[in-house]
């Protein structure tokens, strides 16, 4: 129950609030990260986090995955293929992140600004184009499909939009990074080609959101809020068209405008 207060006397009301749970991402028995997250789509979360953090490069490098609830939270237990398991043992680190935290616990400044794979040749931006109507449609489709946000007004979403197929996938979470990781996982599991569509997010664009979009392989990132300066530079270097402040028919393009017609 909640107490609503406006110009009139306070009145009892009801609002659904989202769950927030500690989720441990565990590889071969050792914890890599503990994130506060919405306890849904956790297999997607584990797979997507593994891909966007560079722990694996393909879905099939995760040999097994189990979701194990416990008294203090939930473990997403993953076992990697031989070479990847060896690499993970060498690079293992531990981090504890508050909601939506993407950089807590890293061990070096170089890791914070790690090189990312370019999604296209900068001289020929792969033929992917979007017009203003498609950008508006992507943002509108994302908004209408956010069932958890509609109920709670307290979550973020990340979706993948194809000009041909519309909104192909969407994931929600209390954390913006988590939502994007969950999207990465579901796209990897569904086999959707990400080379000719756009990632659409409900948050501001920090550098981690660009890094994760590059790992997904999408050439366009659309956000309803503004980017940071570093996010713009990284998007430009990675060949990602960065569209921000996308609200209705209005939007701003910060990197690689060649894809916007």
Catalytic residue numbers, as ranges: 101
- Count CB-CB contacts under 10 A for residue 3: 8
Q: Name the token pair of 254.
A: 């910060």
- Count CB-CB contacts under 10 A for residue 117: 12
Q: Are 145 and 167 in contact (CB under 8 A)?
A: yes
d(CA 142, CA 75): 29
d(CA 94, CA 247): 38
Please, what's the b/e burial string for 173-182 (b: 16 or more CB within 10 A of its CB; e: otherwise)?
bbbbbbbbbb
The sheet with strand 220-223 has its strands ordered as: 166-173, 156-162, 198-201, 220-223, 241-247, 250-255
CA angle 235, 109, 254 (to 5 degrees): 15
Pairing of strands 220-223, 241-247: parallel
d(CA 250, CA 137): 12
Handedness of CA 219, 59, 230, 243 (dihedral sign): positive
């Amino acid at each position: 129950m909640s107490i609503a207060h406006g110009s009139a006397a306070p009145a009892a009301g009801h609002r659904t609030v989202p769950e927030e749970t500690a989720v441990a991402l565990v590889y071969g028995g050792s914890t890599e990260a503990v994130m506060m997250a919405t306890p849904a789509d956790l297999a997607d979360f584990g797979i997507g986090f593994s891909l966007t953090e560079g722990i694996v490069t393909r879905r099939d490098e995760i040999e097994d995955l189990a979701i194990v609830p416990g008294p203090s939270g939930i473990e997403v237990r993953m076992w990697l293929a031989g070479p990847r398991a060896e690499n993970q043992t060498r690079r293992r680190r531990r981090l504890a992140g508050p909601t939506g935290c993407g950089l807590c616990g890293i061990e070096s400044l170089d890791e914070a600004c790690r090189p990312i794979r370019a999604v296209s040749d900068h001289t020929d931006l792969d033929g992917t184009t979007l017009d203003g109507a498609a950008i508006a449609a992507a943002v509108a489709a994302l908004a209408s499909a956010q069932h958890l946000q509609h109920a709670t007004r307290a979550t973020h979403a990340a979706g993948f939009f194809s000009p041909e197929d519309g909104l192909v996938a969407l994931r929600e979470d209390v954390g913006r990074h988590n939502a994007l990781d969950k999207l990465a996982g579901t796209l990897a599991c569904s086999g959707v080609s990400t080379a000719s569509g756009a990632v659409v997010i409900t948050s501001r664009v920090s550098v981690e959101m660009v890094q994760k979009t590059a790992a997904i392989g999408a050439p366009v990132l659309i956000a309803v809020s503004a980017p940071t300066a570093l996010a713009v530079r990284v998007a430009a270097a990675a060949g990602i068209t960065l569209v921000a402040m996308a609200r209705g028919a209005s939007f701003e393009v910060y990197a690689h405008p060649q894809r916007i017609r």
